[in-house]
């Protein structure tokens, strides 16, 4: 994602090192490679959970996302409040990945819900969307998916917005790097770097259409648009 790439470049500039990207599989394989020294850290919006904190060291959160549901447009009213969702008869809700913390959190709010584990959010949109009532996701990430699938919308149920902290995973026990990252994150919050990249890459603010360069053919003779 553009935001993660920008932040990786920011960190490399601060450290005055050459940036190298490596491809990691998610979850278990990524943790093993991180702890084996295959890479120094992961910069791709990892959600903090107690279970993950048992096997990796997290930096301080650099951002909070918002827990939400992705639903068909015409069903948004059914999910705009916890009270409305509770009135549904055992709603089937998909969740990307087996993340016990957020599964437990969902069960606390909706004990009657049937939870379906998905390998990827794409399954909800392409295969299981018709079989599921909603996808538990973050509002920020879900909004990006709804650009690809405009029949869907993101709904944040009220009241009581649930924050989902994002942090950078480091090798387990690497407290020296964690301390450095915590200081760096704090500085990037204070100087608005994180906010500015978030506004541009996530919210789309400040993105302008690039105008063609001036030319006689276009601007004087008007032969082309």
Range of the domain at 117: 65-163
Tell which wins on pLDDT, 210 or 121: 121
pLDDT surpasses 80 at 170: yes
Residues 7 and 75 placed together within one structural domain of the fold: no
Residues 137 and 119 placed together within one structural domain of the fold: yes
Residues 83 and 152 placed together within one structural domain of the fold: yes
- Of 20-29, 70-79, 147-156, 211-220, least confident by mean pLDDT is 211-220
Residues 81 and 148 placed together within one structural domain of the fold: yes
Residue 21 lies inside a defined structural domain of this protein? yes
Residues 139 and 195 placed together within one structural domain of the fold: no
Give the pLDDT band (50/70/90) at residue 222.
low
Distance of alpha carbon 28 from alpha carbon 114, whole angstroms: 25
Residues 125 and 108 placed together within one structural domain of the fold: yes
**What average pLDDT score do residues 112-138 get?**
87
pLDDT digits (tens, 9 = 90+) for 32-47: 999 999 999 999 878 8
CATH (domain of 20): 3.40.190.10
Residue 214 lies inside a defined structural domain of this protein? no
Domain count, the chain: 2
* Single pTM value for the model: 0.76
Are residues 176 and 59 in contact, defined by beta-carbon separation less than 8 angstroms? Answer: no
In terms of Cα–Cα distance, which of 74, 72, 27 is closest to 52? 27
pLDDT surpasses 90 at 218: no
pLDDT surpasses 90 at 161: no
Residues 58 and 139 placed together within one structural domain of the fold: no
The Cα angle at residue 130 between residues 129 and 133, in degrees rounded to 5: 70
Assigned token pair, 97: 């990945």
Residues 97 and 176 placed together within one structural domain of the fold: no
Residues 147 and 181 placed together within one structural domain of the fold: no
The rounded percent of the chain whose pLDDT value lies above 70 is 88
Q: Which of 109, 144, 163 is where one domain is finished? A: 163
pLDDT surpasses 60 at 25: yes
Distance of alpha carbon 218 from alpha carbon 225, whole angstroms: 6
Q: Which of 145, 163, 181 is where one domain is finished? A: 163
Are residues 68 and 139 in contact, defined by beta-carbon separation less than 8 angstroms? Answer: yes
Any residues with CB less than 8 A from the CB of 52 and at least 6 apart, and which? 31, 46, 58, 169
């Amino acid at each position: 994602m553009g935001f993660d790439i920008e932040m990786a470049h920011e960190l490399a500039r601060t450290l005055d090192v050459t940036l190298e990207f490596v491809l990691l599989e998610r979850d278990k394989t990524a943790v093993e490679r991180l702890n084996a020294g295959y890479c120094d850290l992961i910069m791709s919006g990892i959600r903090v959970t107690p279970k993950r904190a048992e096997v990796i060291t997290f930096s301080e959160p650099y951002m909070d996302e918002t827990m939400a549901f992705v639903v068909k447009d015409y069903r948004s009213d059914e999910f705009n409040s916890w009270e409305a969702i509770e009135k549904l008869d055992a709603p089937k809700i998909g969740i990307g990945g087996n993340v016990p913390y957020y599964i437990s959190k969902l069960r606390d709010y909706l004990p009657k819900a049937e939870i379906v584990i998905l390998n990827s959010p794409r399954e909800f949109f392409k295969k299981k969307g018709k079989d599921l009532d909603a996808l538990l996701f973050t509002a920020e990430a879900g909004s990006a998916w709804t650009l690809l699938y405009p029949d869907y919308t993101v709904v944040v149920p009220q009241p009581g917005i649930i924050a989902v902290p994002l942090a950078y995973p480091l090798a387990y026990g690497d407290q020296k790097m964690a301390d450095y990252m915590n200081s760096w994150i704090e500085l990037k919050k204070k100087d608005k770097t994180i906010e500015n990249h978030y506004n541009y890459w996530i919210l789309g603010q400040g993105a302008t259409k690039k105008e063609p360069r001036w030319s006689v053919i276009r601007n004087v003779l008007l032969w082309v648009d």
